[in-house]
Amino acid sequence: MTLAAAQMPTHAITRLTLTLEAARSLRDGAIDAAAALDDALRDAFKDLAPQNRSTWARATGRAMAAIFDEVLNPVIAAYPELEADQSAWVAIAQARAGKRAG
């Protein structure tokens, strides 16, 4: 991405500033990040006091919203063909988690 593209608002990202390969990598990373946060929150709930769970659920939700708003949605807007159904999301998340663990 060029310096000018890096300074653009995320919603202005287009095919001119992002290759298909880069878009796919960012999409997969965003899916992985959202899945990792979801797993972390699920694990944390076991050790959080009930009165603190909603605070951490909201914080995690805000972080996930940022992932969607700043990365995933602009990538899909630029490359609609990268939109993934639920089974593809699961496969991407599992592949990325395995890659990180390996």
pLDDT tens string 67-99: 999 999 999 999 999 999 999 999 999 999 998
- Rounded to the nearest angstrom, the gap between the alpha carbon of residue 30 and the centroid of all alpha carbons in its chain is 2
Give the chain's mean pLDDT.
Answer: 88
Name the pTM for this structure: 0.81
d(CA 65, CA 59): 10
Note whether 31 and 72 are within 8 A (CB). yes
